Amino acid sequence: MNLDLLKTLLKQGVGAPLMLVMIMSMLIIPLAPWALDIFFTFNIALALIVLMTAVYALRPLDFSVFPTIILIATLMRLALNVASTRVILMEGHVGGAAAGNVIEAFGSFVIGGNFAVGLVVFMILVIINFVVITKGAGRVSEVSARFTLDAMPGKQMAIDADLNSGLIDQDEARQRRIDVSAEADFYGSMDGASKFVRGDAVAGILILFINIVGGFIIGMAQHDLSAAQAAENYIILTVGDGLVAQIPALVLSTATAIVVTRVSDSTDLGAQIFGQMFGSPQTLVIAGGIIGLLGVIPGMPNLAFLTLAAILGGAAWLVSQRKKEEEQAEVTAASEVAAEREAPHERDVGWDDVESIDPLTLEVGYRLIPLVDVNQGGELIDRIKGIRRKLSRELGFLIHAVHIKDNLDLTPTAYRVQLMGVPVGEGELVPDHYLAINPGQVFGELEGTETTDPTFGMAAVWIDGDHQEHAQSMGYTVVDASTVVATHLSDIVRSHASELLGVDEVKELLDRLAESAPKLVEDLVPKTVEWVVVLKVLQNLLEEGVSIRDMRTIAETLAEFAPKGQDPDALTMAVRNALGRSIVQELAGIVDELPVITLDPNLEQILHQSVQGDGTGGSGLEPGLAEQMNKSLIEAVQQQEASGQPAVLLVAPTIRRLLARMFRHSLPDLTVLSYTEVPDDRSIRMVANVGGQG
């Protein structure tokens, strides 16, 4: 019945308040010796449980309640010191068992009944705890808290980048933001909690001297004990009390140091230490050789040194054999794949020998196979699926599956993206490293392999995992190798979306539209407009970054304007006008005012005349004028980006497509709109004028 009551209290969340009430009671109510035994034993067990939890936590946030536990454990230990001090000073004249069996055991058995030895052992424990562990842990907590706060903007940018590239969804992004905030709160709390541990060490020293001095005074003045008898009773009890409190304090300080010095990883502390310290056979061989040389020196403990040298040599051999087996497995896998591709055919040549071209292909070198192998923990395939899902929703049609294959012609750490069999992007990775990208404003330089981000061409550095948080605190955007490939692939798919859309995809889009608007689709293709014209219009939209999600509006516009002419460019203009509200919405959001860049009327007239006089749809613009206009637009776009606003060039409908094609590659962040595409309920605000005087 009592156990059921305890479970009920814990479920209702009253366990912590009851413990705090119990701690406060120990400060006031005298405790019997047997009660002190129970509480001191519980204190030691609690410290060991906390230490084991800290060791097996995979990351600091897995033990987020640790700062609160430090406070409660420290208060409990101080309360026990007060309670034991009361008993020692009141009943210490009786003998060693006056304060309970636990204190007597530590005072007699641990230090052999010699209070001088006990004082020395106690002071050593205090020095280790106060000067070494507690001070170091406090410093690490302080630095970690500062670096974590400084790294928050970079981590938030990395989360936004993963969300925008489709690597994560909204729920995962929200959870990551919560984790970033919780991490900052945790290290801030640890910075304060470490001060409790340090203060506890100081309090232990003061309580020791208070008990000794008070015991001498009370023993000799009130109980007529001799100085020797008072020393034997009170000092041994005091030292035993100090040891029984300092040992759990030392354990808790060690747990604090372990938590604040941990690096987030998917393995526990023991696996990390073994993998990183004993994973290199060269390290073990050198250490074993030095120990072996010391072992053959006359006068040294030869047996111990030579035995340890032999153990290190054997361990080095085992580690090297394991590494050779892993490398051989990788080479064998690559050879099997190559053998399958180059195996001679016994049958006659047929159509099966004609290799079809996949719309999207990702080729990887053999050292990057673990990134795409699920059995080896590769995450790239799942990330690519997330990219396809996100881009399919944004663009409005199903993105083709990405065919992933190895290519032994590539360097082992390189990858290549092909579109319809033609390479459109490539890069090189450093496996098991992170890419720290310089977004434009960082607070220092990193040690590592300098490179450039394959997606956006920004300066970057390949760093190992131990420097990830340090790089983020300096303002770098840090991503792993899989994210580098996934982001590059996402950018390529987005920029080549028009080439991935074919007749089959258009037919699927119209079939889905026919489920809700059957008459519209029936009268549209091929009665009103040909398939190839619909395809070209949709490709034109995707080429300029316009989503084709709203197929109903697109189909209705084609049904209205196609009878007047089948020119894809003219029909694209009409469709863009119909989609104007959604186009502007994607650019500026729900704000009523749209900031725009405009052209000088004289320059706009020159462009209009060049379009009128060029039957091929090109531009007869002289190079000097085109270069000057490009330079002015670059400055205007940079100003808009600096202010966090979209860069929109608003021009006449007749020259919109010309300018969109002209600046598509040189100014990818510039969107060219025509006057007719801006909804009537949106006001415009001119932020720059290109081509004007002054």
Q: Are residues 400 and 261 in the same domain?
A: no
Domain holding 420: CATH number?
A: 3.40.30.60
Q: How far is CA 541 from CA 93, 477, 549, in A?
A: 95, 32, 11
Range name among 69-73, 389-393, 675-679 with the lowest pLDDT average: 69-73
- pLDDT given for residue 2 in this prediction: 52
- Inform me whether the pLDDT recorded for 407 exceeds 90: no
Beta partners for residue 689, in sequence order: 598
Q: Are residues 56 and 117 in the same domain?
A: yes
Pairing of strands 360-364, 459-464: unpaired
Residue 201 lies in a domain: yes
Q: Are residues 549 and 601 in the same domain?
A: no
pLDDT tens for each residue of 205-220: 777 777 777 777 777 7
- Inform me whether the pLDDT recorded for 548 exceeds 80: yes
Q: Are residues 456 and 531 in the same domain?
A: no
Give yes or no for a contact between 627 and 613, defined as CB atoms under 8 angstroms apart: no
Residue matched to tokens 């599956």: 401
Q: Where in the sequence is the domain holding 514, given as residue range(s)? A: 501-578
Distance CA 101, CA 548 (A): 81
- pLDDT given for residue 573 in this prediction: 94
- pLDDT given for residue 490 in this prediction: 93
Give yes or no for a contact between 66 and 188, defined as CB atoms under 8 angstroms apart: no
Beta partners for residue 647, in sequence order: 670
Higher pLDDT, 443 or 33: 443
- Inform me whether the pLDDT recorded for 410 exceeds 70: yes
- pLDDT given for residue 461 in this prediction: 94
Q: Are residues 411 and 558 in the same domain?
A: no
Higher pLDDT, 131 or 403: 403
Instruction: Give the E-state strand segments of 271-412 in sequence order.
Output: 360-364, 402-406
Give yes or no for a contact between 501 and 397, defined as CB atoms under 8 angstroms apart: yes
- Inform me whether the pLDDT recorded for 485 exceeds 70: yes
Residue 415 lies in a domain: yes
- Cα of first residue to Cα of last residue in the chain, in angstroms, is 90
> For the chain, what is the domain count?
4
Q: Are residues 512 and 477 in the same domain?
A: no
Distance CA 194, CA 186 (A): 12
Q: Are residues 63 and 199 in the same domain?
A: yes
Domain holding 538: CATH number?
A: 1.10.8.540
- pLDDT given for residue 336 in this prediction: 64
Distance CA 312, CA 273 (A): 16
- Inform me whether the pLDDT recorded for 190 exceeds 70: yes
Give yes or no for a contact between 111 and 59, defined as CB atoms under 8 angstroms apart: no
**Residue 515 pLDDT grade (very low, low, confident, very high; cuts 50, 70, 90):** very high
- pLDDT given for residue 29 in this prediction: 73
DSSP conformational letter for 455: T
pLDDT tens for each residue of 570-627: 999 999 999 999 999 988 888 888 999 999 888 888 888 877 765 444 455 677 777 8
Range name among 371-385, 525-539, 662-676 with the lowest pLDDT average: 371-385
- Inform me whether the pLDDT recorded for 241 exceeds 90: no
Most confident of 153-157, 230-234, 347-351, 551-555: 551-555
Residue 637 lies in a domain: yes
Give yes or no for a contact between 433 and 451, defined as CB atoms under 8 angstroms apart: no
Q: Are residues 89 and 232 in the same domain?
A: yes
CA-based torsion, 524, 526, 527, 532: positive or negative: positive
Distance CA 260, CA 133 (A): 12
Which DSSP string corresponds to 616-682? TS-----HHHHHHHHHHHHHHHHHHHHTT--EEEEE-HHHHHHHHHHTTTT-TTEEEEEGGGS-TT-
Distance CA 619, CA 608 (A): 10
Which DSSP string corresponds to 302-336? HHHHHHHHHHHHHHHHHHHHHHHHHHHHHHHHHHH
Neighbours of 57 (CB within 10 A): 20
Q: Are residues 117 and 219 in the same domain?
A: yes
- Amino acid identity at 398: L
Q: What is the mean pLDDT of residues 468-479?
A: 89
- pLDDT given for residue 694 in this prediction: 40
Q: What is the mean pLDDT of residues 550-568?
A: 93
Pairing of strands 683-690, 449-452: unpaired
The residue out of 270, 295, 327 marking a domain boundary is 270
Q: Are residues 106 and 246 in the same domain?
A: yes
Tell me, yes or no, if the pTM score tops 0.85: no
Residue 178 lies in a domain: no
Residue 389 lies in a domain: yes
- pLDDT given for residue 165 in this prediction: 65
Q: Are residues 505 and 488 in the same domain?
A: no
Residue 299 lies in a domain: no
Q: What is the mean pLDDT of residues 50-69?
A: 78
Residue 350 lies in a domain: no
Q: Are residues 368 and 460 in the same domain?
A: yes
